Amino acid sequence: MPSLHPSLKAHVSGHAEDRPGVYRWLGEDGQILYVGKSVRVKSRLLSYFREDRGKIARMMGEARDVAWDYIPNEFAALVREMRLIQTWRPRYNVQHKRKRRYGFIKITLDLAPRIIPVTRVAADGASYYGPFGRVGWVAEAVGDLARALAIRDCSADTPVQFGDQFEIFAGGRAPRCMRGDTGSCLAPCAGRCLSADYEKRVDEARAFLQGHGQGPLRRLREQMSEAAERLDFEYASRIRERHERLEKLQHYLSGFRGQIENLRFMYRVPGFRGNDRLYLIHHGRIRGDFPAPRSTPDRNRIRARVREAHRGYAGKAALDLDANAAAEVLLVANWFNRKPKERERAVAIEAFLAPPDPRVHS
C-alpha cells in the first residue's frame, strides 16, 4: 500500500498547532507505531517528513495516519508519553519500548517467610522494597542478606516444621539444602529453630530494609572478626564483600526513600494560553490533576477535591511500588533533579489545604 505522506503532511500543516502535546503515528488498522511528545507538536510532526533514511524513514513508510493530543505543559506531556508507551509498547519506540525490568526485594507471607529477589510486585500482602535498576545486583545482595540472617530463600513449596513442633515427626529431618547443612540458614524445614527465633530474624530484615536496623551488618562484622581470629582470611574477605554490598543496599534504600518522601507537594505549572495546572504529587506519583484556581471559590472547590484525593493516598508507604509506578516515580524525580527551580513552584499539601487566615486580606 503506498504511503499517504502527502495527505498526512497536509493534514498536519492544516490542523496541528505549535503547542505542547503527545502524538501517535499509526500504521495499518490503527496500530500504534510510535508515541512521542513535544512542546511544539506541529513543528515536530513536520520534521518527520524530512527524514529519508534510518528508523524514522522506515516508520514513515508504514505510517498511514497520525493523531495528537494537546497537553497543557511539558511536564504533563512527559508523563503522558511514558504512560502511553508502557500501555501500548509501540514497535518503533526506543525509550520505554519494553517495560524496563526493576528489581525488588520481597519478604513473603509464608509460615517461615522467605527473602527473595523479584521483578514484579503482586497484590499478595507480602512486603516489597525497591525499586532497583540493577536486577542482577539486587539478587546478589538478597542472597547476602539471607545468609547474614540465616533466613531461608528456598522455593515456596518447601515444607516447614519449626522446632517447637518437632515431636510431629520422630528422629528429626535432614535439611533440604546445603545452606541448612552449613548453618547459613536456620533450617525451619528440619525443625532446627523455634518459630519465635525465626520471626526475630525476619524482623531484623524488615528493620534493615526500612532503614532503622543494623542487625545484618553487625552479624557480618562478628563473622569477619571470628574468621580473622582463626586466620581464615579468605573467608573474612568474602564476608567483607557481603558487608559492603549490604551497606550499599541500605544506603540506596535510605537515599531513595528520602527522595521519594520529599516528592510530596502541590505543583503549579504554567500552561499554554493560560491553561495553568495544579498537580497533587504524593511520594513521586501524580495523584491528581486540577485546573489552577483563579478565585477564592475556585480555590475552595479545588481544595475539597485535593483533600479527597489526598485522603486516599496519605497512608501509603513511599516504596509501595510496582514496576509501572517505579518508572513514574523515577521520571518525576528526574524532572525535578534536572529542573531544580521547578521546586520553587511547589507548595506543601498541608499548606494548600489549610483554610485561609482571616487576618490576611487580599
Domains and CATH numbers, the chain: 5-88 (3.40.1440.10), 103-258 (no CATH), 263-353 (no CATH)
The pTM of the full predicted model, rounded to 2 decimals, is 0.70
Residue 170: predicted pLDDT: 42
pLDDT one-digit tens code per residue, 108-142? 999 999 999 998 877 788 888 888 878 899 999 99
The larger pLDDT score, comparing residue 166 to residue 327, is at 327
pLDDT one-digit tens code per residue, 265-301? 999 999 999 999 999 999 999 999 999 999 999 999 9
What whole-number percentage of the chain has pLDDT above 70? Answer: 90
Residues 296, 302: contact at Cβ < 8 Å? no
Q: What is the DSSP string of 103-143?
A: EEEEE--SSS--EEEES---SSS-EEEEEES-HHHHHHHHH
Weakest-pLDDT range from 216-225, 281-290, 318-327, 341-350:
318-327
Residues 164, 195: contact at Cβ < 8 Å? yes
In this predicted structure, the answer to whether residue 179 has a pLDDT above a threshold of 90 is no
Nearest to 258 by CA among 300, 212, 201, 222: 212
Mean pLDDT of 177-186: 85
Q: Which helix (H) or strand (E) holds 280?
A: strand 277-282
Mean pLDDT score of the chain, rounded to an integer? 88
Across 4-8, 100-104, 280-284, 310-314, the highest mean pLDDT is recorded for 280-284
Helix, strand or coil for residue 311? helix
Residue 321: predicted pLDDT: 66
**pLDDT band, very low/low/confident/very high, at 98 (cuts 50, 70, 90):** low
34 has which bridge partners?
Answer: 25
Residue 252: predicted pLDDT: 87
The larger pLDDT score, comparing residue 98 to residue 84, is at 84
**pLDDT band, very low/low/confident/very high, at 171 (cuts 50, 70, 90):** very low
Mean pLDDT of 23-33: 94
281 has which bridge partners?
Answer: 265, 286
pLDDT one-digit tens code per residue, 231-272? 999 989 999 999 999 999 988 888 888 888 899 999 999 999
Find the farthest-apart pair of alpha carbons in the chain and give their distance in angstroms, rounded.
85
CA atoms of 199 and 219, how far apart (whole Å): 16
**pLDDT band, very low/low/confident/very high, at 1 (cuts 50, 70, 90):** very low
Find all residues with CB under 8 Å of 274, minimum gap 6, and list them.
none
